[in-house]
Amino acid sequence: MGAAMRRIQLGNALSAFGIGFTVPFLYVYVAQVRELGASAAGLVLAVFAVAALVVLPFTGRAVDRRGPVPVLIAAALLASVGALALGLAGSLPAVLLAAAGLGAGQAVMQPALATMIVWSSTPVTRTRAFATQFFLQNLGLGIGGLIGGQIVDPDRPDSFLLLFSIEAVMFLVLAAIGTTVRLPRVPHFSGAAPRQAASTSGGGWKRIFQHRAMVQLSVLGFVLFFACYGQFESGLAAYGTEAAGITPSALGLALAANTAVIVLAQFVVLRLVERRRRSRVIALVGLIWTFAWVVAGYAGLGHGSQAMATAAFISTYALFGLGEAMLSPTVAPLVADLAPQAAVGQYNAAFALVKQLALAVGPAVGGPMGAALHGPYILTFVLFSLGISWLALRLGRQLTPAQDNPSLVRVSRTVASGPVVPRPGEAVSV
């Protein structure tokens, strides 16, 4: 990695570490420590999603016009203020306002960081760069959650203030690191130009809606996030508790198994997939997740022992982690490779918006089904997982060979010498 990429990845890891300090304990903090009740805690979680949905439609254009670094710094400062305010808030309006600031800041950071990675990489190195980002995010979240769990005490409100203060400091560190990043120009790669880029008219969202491959990738992304992340802490957890009799401690082990598989397998998986067609890799993820849902069905609907049901449920989360490790070097780099040179931020923000929509709809649909309609719940998500494979293969027909397999691209002889800081609105040549 170059100097810019190393700093970007460091900031990414530290911010994830800070988020890990607070996310697992947010419900307890609002409902019990501040004594605002379960409904208020649910409202706070909803505000996070709403804030992201409000700001993301405007984020992409800001990134492309102003550059990703200023947008990242502003978002990190907003998130830092929101985190500290949340630790100090005592009333429901104050908690909601702080949550809105924190949620908006975190949402804007995602496409800004993704665009910085794109500007600091090439189509050949981008696969490994996004895999590294995903690895460091999960490692930071896991370590932050473990340390935060040792600090937090529901009987000591000051312990929660300490957690939110640490999170605020990590966002300030991210902003400080952002000020030191000098984004380089990257070499031009033949065969990596977006299909349909020249034929689309207009800009912004109109250009995205006219780009068939991006529309298909967005639909695929919604199904991916809806069938996986949208079920982790809602439908799948409710199903495991109600149908399989999984204890809270076993559910914690399942989540730990998911993170462990990602951290341990990420770079092993990367070596296996980085020279293969992205559409085929995503299709394979759909099959793996289909098997994961079948295993979950056995855990809740089978007639084995409780130990077997628990083992099957933990295996389900582990299989999801394997699929996630395969997606990190394929989906995010593909968004970047589909984007026209001047609209990388817009495309990253659009895909982040799709993810947020899936994360908002997923729990609303999966939660009630997982708690009460056990058989239909499993069948529904088996079909969704098979749909992932079908959508991925269909998307592959819309991609150029270089977009589907970046190892095929060729480097142009015209390479910028030395790092160049792009001016606001200046396109990076990829």
Q: Each residue of 32-69: pLDDT tens digit?
A: 788 888 778 778 878 888 888 899 888 888 888 888 89
Note the helical H segments in 181-211: 204-210
The CA distance from 141 to 13, in Å, is 8
**pLDDT level of residue 371 (50, 70, 90 thresholds):** confident
pLDDT, position 414? 35
Which of 353, 10, 350 has the alpha carbon at shortest distance from 175? Answer: 10
* CB distance 358 to 229 below 8 Å: yes
Residue 106 makes CB contacts below 8 A (sequence gap 6+) with 19, 48, 52, 75, 79
Please tell me which of 12-26, 250-264, 312-326 the model is most confident about, judged by mean pLDDT: 312-326
pLDDT, position 194? 46
% of residues, the chain, pLDDT over 90:
20
* CB distance 165 to 385 below 8 Å: no
Note the helical H segments in 23-125: 26-28, 38-66, 68-88, 92-119
**pLDDT level of residue 237 (50, 70, 90 thresholds):** confident
Q: Decide the pairing of beta strands 189-190 and 410-411.
A: antiparallel
pLDDT, position 375? 84
* CB distance 216 to 391 below 8 Å: yes
- Two tokens, residue 37: 């009740």
Residue 301 makes CB contacts below 8 A (sequence gap 6+) with 243, 374, 375, 378
**pLDDT level of residue 203 (50, 70, 90 thresholds):** low
* CB distance 381 to 292 below 8 Å: no
Query: Could you tell me which residue, 181 or 170, shows the higher pLDDT?
Result: 170
Please count the other Cβ atoms lying within 10 Å of the Cβ belonging to residue 263: 17
pLDDT, position 75? 94
Range in 72-86, 106-120, 231-245, 282-296 with the lowest mean pLDDT: 231-245
Which residues make beta-bridge pairs with 410?
190
* CB distance 116 to 201 below 8 Å: no
pLDDT, position 89? 86
Range in 47-61, 112-126, 239-253, 295-309 with the lowest mean pLDDT: 239-253
The CA distance from 13 to 321, in Å, is 19
pLDDT, position 79? 93
Task: Say if residue 77's pLDDT is above 90.
Answer: yes
Mean per-residue pLDDT, 395-424: 61
DSSP string, 19-33: HHHHGGGHHHIIIII
**pLDDT level of residue 290 (50, 70, 90 thresholds):** very high
Residue 6 makes CB contacts below 8 A (sequence gap 6+) with none
Task: Say if residue 253's pLDDT is above 90.
Answer: no
Mean per-residue pLDDT, 345-372: 83
The predicted model scores a pTM of 0.80
Q: What is the mean pLDDT of the chain?
A: 82
Counting Cα atoms < 13 Å in the Cβ hemisphere of 407 gives 12
Query: Could you tell me which residue, 22 or 429, shows the higher pLDDT?
Result: 22
pLDDT, position 1? 66
pLDDT, position 185? 56
Range in 42-46, 70-74, 355-359 with the lowest mean pLDDT: 42-46
